[in-house]
Structure 1
């Protein structure tokens, strides 16, 4: 819904500054957003005498603004005042007017903002307060916010807003809040002007050890840290009482930080305020991209390690530095002989956000499972699929989530469990789709780690990298949820795609890479192609095939979601799926259905069946069957039917049935039966 005062602000900005070089025009839609904020900032920069406009609020803008604060007073008039009022309207705080006059109502709006931000409500403008106003930061509790976190944010603002700027007070624990807590610790440590919100060597060396009975600011900081990590519900009173002691012990146990005492030392305090914690702590797990020799494996075991993460496929480096990183059967012997257990990681790409799609999830799952089977990882092993990129929270739902939906869909009928390697927010986003998380906490500066809780299903926690005897390793902690394995039994029952086709389709004369034209007349065209690849899109767009065939429930749900089928048509479709012989020979697979309206007044449907495993065994390579069907509407079969009534959803229902009949017996379909069913469906919508 458009806000009329925001709209008035946008129109005035464009009219007043629209001709300036470098000015970004505001969208005239009455809705606050970054585009309007950028226009406000650039208008302010112009009024401050800055000729090179930019959409940030940087040091030059702040220094120029500082020289003008004395002129922005009650009863003064200027375009800067009008810009400030416009910013208030965009912030949702009512300054009562949109003029150049600094009146008492503007003073009230300033006090309102200060109160919401946890500042002294004196009505005095500061550079940092104006910077917060010319921003999208929220200062009221958001729907997903936490009132206790907002209380903490306001308290931090009341003490450090001049040094850190005015932080959001929306109840959402985020990067700025996390850094403010580190800054708070640094001020407690006496770092003064060198405090910067980064937990570096100076902060580490000064981190105190705090015991039960202590009081003061350091205890309040510990209470804040325990609360945002989900281990404390008491008040922020600065008293180290039994509730704080219990929370610290619980945090130590959850994060595997012995000894399990109530002492808050560097391991606890840095663990609360950063993702990587105390990087000098002991642990028993590491991962590496190096193919380890027997001597290297024994050397690393002698350092006290017990579990190693190794890659299923791929290589690292480029050019002459390129080397394989994949686990081999020879290396398995080296590792297990040294007394090490192994867990599998899959990462053959995924360094850019665009990599993560539902289709890519299917292909990665297939490659990972095949490699794990050939190496002999036992049933119920968890494969950790890597998200080795810092993805912002807003991008997760459209990238990582569908990627893991497809992986989970692929693996649900097979022997392996799904895990994720990634930042804390990525792990949290897919927690319902994975069994375990391997948390990339070593990347402590990534936005996906700062301000996010440790996932409760964490199995491994990667926290520091270094070299041992020429081997680069990433050290991690183990929660005990996944102990890896030292028992391997490579599978030998693989079936080639062509052998699978022979078993599935009989004497249909179809092989990988070949297309067979099944039927063609004036009404219907049918063909099938066998591909040495996976073609289903995965995710919600695909229907699962398991040892019981296609579920009528799943197919029915898909049809209801993707098409508006007339009454009675859905029952006809579902009735043809119950005893399908091809599908019952497929132990695990996916079916995707897509449709198109053609320029020649015909409808086409493509039915793709990705086959992961048959009743003969797992496939040694990718295989998909692609059935294509085309029905023309300008012929006798549609006689008497208004073409406008033959909708895309009808085409879907007609050709799904055609496709199901095609694959029912694995041979030539009874075309007369297909036409009969098409006529039956058409009669339902006539």
Structure 2
């Protein structure tokens, strides 16, 4: 909402500093924001005689202010514009600036007194004087009153921190908004370092070896009193422990709350504020040297490595369902036979799904649906049974507003697919905040927390999610020689025990069902993306036969729609012949898309008696090939009927292939069965491997290098179809 005094502050900046290089012109909209606060900071730097202006109220600005105007009040002579900058900042903060008149009047005095009280520094800087640190606190967007999402308990802690440590050179006035965020988390770490007796030059707010060593010296328990108890109980409150009170005395209440917290994070339950408890309250890793019973990694679990993990006390192993890269981290994806090895050595596996996803732009509702389809496909490919929980990764430093704009819609898309008919559960991997928020929306059933990323905005200042299953805290190496493996060490809560039984054929052995057209949009998007990735644009492009040619009028979308138009026939054929309908649909779609102007020319030549045969119809089948395939199927007992004669029936068969789409589709299936025979392969079934499927598809086109390339290209089409069908037939 616009504020007239904020608008006047913006107008003051524009009129006074419009010709000053480095001070931006503001939109006079009356809305407080960083642009206005940054411009006021630059204006102050200009008044201090600084030539390099910056948005940051940096140490140079603070030192200049300390040197020129260490205390500003009505009794100190200060340039009027410095007072106007102060007045403008007060208005932007929601306090009365006394008019932007350059006078430190009674209203300014009263507001300065109020804001210092709200900051918790009224006792440190008594009266109405504005010190450099207070001025810095005025010219930012921090709130000093409880805001939505904040609590008075946390604000009490924030004010105490400011009041106790602001006189230290490295401590600046922190927000007092009642929200435990990154700034307050860092302030808590700095406070620990100050109480440890570290000199100012060694206080950095980081959880390093020195801080860890100091914490080991400051155990708190029943009867303890003083600032260390204050810090410990503050951390209990900030970690949202029910019943915690900000106090300097450790009593029976604190003992019980500490016990509950220790149980929650899976520490030894003692009720004593020992080093590991301090660590779990302060940082997302807790004590990184804790021994976990779960792990995850990008390396295949071989028998030797499985034994090493078992001997080291690990029970649960996280492995990736899919790796989109063919070169990077070649063992990241679960390898053939690996799950059997994991089960054989008494380990259990929890599946993780991640492709790229290193930024917010990857995440949206549509992509969530795509990821879910892919995850289900690969989970079934590897043999995970219904009931398994798939952890979908959000592996970057996601900001809170990005959780709202991108991550939550993404997980709505994931759930739309998973909940419909997959039988799997949705989990999330990511920083604490995103895990908690997605869970609160009912979009995940457990969290795998990337606690090892201690500096992530989504970990600093956020408690461990209540539904945490695994907490990733350190990278370690286990075993040696053939058994050596680098893993991420995880603490397990017991919420998810992973999977110990796998069936790679599940549910591959189930027959296909009619297509659920609710999935059409997602499948078409996937199909178009695949075709474009191999050089087949939505329209036009080049194909090949004996020579290069320009593709004709069938677009990727039109080809796809034509195939789905005959879904009932494809489904019936597949169920009758006990094959996958994707096996038949893939070459038919490819041939429809590859139609080119030479095809009707060849057909006309047959019609006019110039040629006796050509590839024709939806599946581009030669009459001779159709006859040979039919006769093979009759001899093999696959179909009932009389065999065709090449001399007698060629023209009739060819004509029906050209004019009858359903007839052509049926013969495409027979040709594929015949192709398997010609390649000396087993007859295709519901569980034919991708390797054999590719060979069959290649033979559909003929022999030679071009046919082999055909098999590789069309296998990709097959996989897109199969990804969706595998979900629908479950």
TM-score of the superposition, structure 2-length normalised? 0.68
Aligned equivalent of 2:319: 310
1:271 aligns with 2:280: yes
1:129 and 1:415, CA in 2 relative to 1: closer, same or farther beyond 3 A?
A: same
Contact 1:315 1:323 (8 Å CA) reproduced: no
Shift of 1:500: 5.7
Gaps spanning 5+ residues in structure 2: where?
519-523, 532-537, 539-556, 565-719
Counting only pairs closer than 5 Å after superposition, residues 550-629 of structure 1 correspond to structure 2 as: 620-622=722-724
Aligned equivalent of 1:30: 30
Aligned equivalent of 2:83: 81
Contact 1:495 1:619 (8 Å CA) reproduced: no
Shift of 1:622: 4.1
Shift of 1:375: 1.0
1:339 aligns with 2:339: no
Q: Aligned partners of 1:528, 1:501: CA distance in 2, in Å?
A: 20
1:210 and 1:41, CA in 2 relative to 1: closer, same or farther beyond 3 A?
A: same
SS state of the match for residue 264, structure 2? helix
Contact 1:494 1:620 (8 Å CA) reproduced: no
SS state of the match for residue 398, structure 1? helix
Shift of 1:86: 0.7
Contact 1:2 1:31 (8 Å CA) reproduced: yes
SS state of the match for residue 397, structure 1? helix
1:199 and 1:101, CA in 2 relative to 1: closer, same or farther beyond 3 A?
A: same
1:58 and 1:70, CA in 2 relative to 1: closer, same or farther beyond 3 A?
A: closer
Shift of 1:623: 7.2
Q: Aligned partners of 2:256, 2:174: CA distance in 1, in Å?
A: 30
Aligned equivalent of 2:105: 103
Aligned equivalent of 1:55: 55
User: What value does the CA root-mean-square deviation take over the aligned residues?
Assistant: 2.7
Larger helix fraction of residues: 2
1:478 aligns with 2:492: yes
Deviation sequence 1:148-171 (CA, Å, 0-9, x none): 100000000001123310011110
Q: Aligned partners of 1:533, 1:56: CA distance in 2, in Å?
A: 61
1:152 and 1:435, CA in 2 relative to 1: closer, same or farther beyond 3 A?
A: same
Shift of 1:184: 1.9
Deviation sequence 1:74-125 (CA, Å, 0-9, x none): 2534111111111111111102221122233322221111000111242222
SS state of the match for residue 345, structure 1? strand
Aligned equivalent of 1:297: 306
Shift of 1:323: 2.0
1:503 and 1:255, CA in 2 relative to 1: closer, same or farther beyond 3 A?
A: closer
Counting only pairs closer than 5 Å after superposition, residues 315-394 of structure 1 correspond to structure 2 as: 322-394=329-401
SS state of the match for residue 374, structure 2? helix
Size of the aligned set, in residue pairs, is: 521
Q: Aligned partners of 2:279, 2:12: CA distance in 1, in Å?
A: 49
Of stretches 105-114 and 481-490 in structure 1, the one that deviates more from structure 2 is: 105-114
1:201 aligns with 2:209: yes
Contact 2:365 2:409 (8 Å CA) reproduced: yes
Q: Aligned partners of 2:183, 2:516: CA distance in 1, in Å?
A: 60
Gaps spanning 5+ residues in structure 1: where?
506-510, 516-526, 535-617, 625-686
SS state of the match for residue 309, structure 2? helix
Q: Aligned partners of 2:292, 2:67: CA distance in 1, in Å?
A: 54
1:390 and 1:504, CA in 2 relative to 1: closer, same or farther beyond 3 A?
A: closer
1:156 aligns with 2:186: no
Aligned with residue 125 of structure 1, among 104, 112, 130: 130
1:243 aligns with 2:273: no
Q: Aligned partners of 1:533, 1:383: CA distance in 2, in Å?
A: 32
Q: Aligned partners of 1:2, 1:60: CA distance in 2, in Å?
A: 33
1:244 and 1:303, CA in 2 relative to 1: closer, same or farther beyond 3 A?
A: same
TM-score of the superposition, structure 1-length normalised? 0.72
Contact 1:421 1:427 (8 Å CA) reproduced: yes
SS state of the match for residue 279, structure 2? helix
Aligned with residue 452 of structure 2, among 421, 437, 442: 442
Contact 2:185 2:461 (8 Å CA) reproduced: yes
Q: Aligned partners of 2:488, 2:517: CA distance in 1, in Å?
A: 46
Shift of 1:493: 4.5
1:249 and 1:412, CA in 2 relative to 1: closer, same or farther beyond 3 A?
A: same
Shift of 1:322: 4.5
Contact 2:71 2:132 (8 Å CA) reproduced: no
Aligned equivalent of 2:542: none
Contact 2:70 2:131 (8 Å CA) reproduced: no
Larger strand fraction of residues: 1
Deviation sequence 1:530-583 (CA, Å, 0-9, x none): 37999xxxxxxxxxxxxxxxxxxxxxxxxxxxxxxxxxxxxxxxxxxxxxxxxx
Deviation sequence 1:13-64 (CA, Å, 0-9, x none): 0111112222221220111111111111111111111222221211221121
1:488 aligns with 2:502: yes
Q: Aligned partners of 2:300, 2:247: CA distance in 1, in Å?
A: 53
Q: Aligned partners of 2:335, 2:87: CA distance in 1, in Å?
A: 66
Counting only pairs closer than 5 Å after superposition, residues 141-220 of structure 1 correspond to structure 2 as: 141-163=146-168, 164-193=171-200, 194-207=202-215, 208-220=218-230
Contact 1:533 1:623 (8 Å CA) reproduced: no
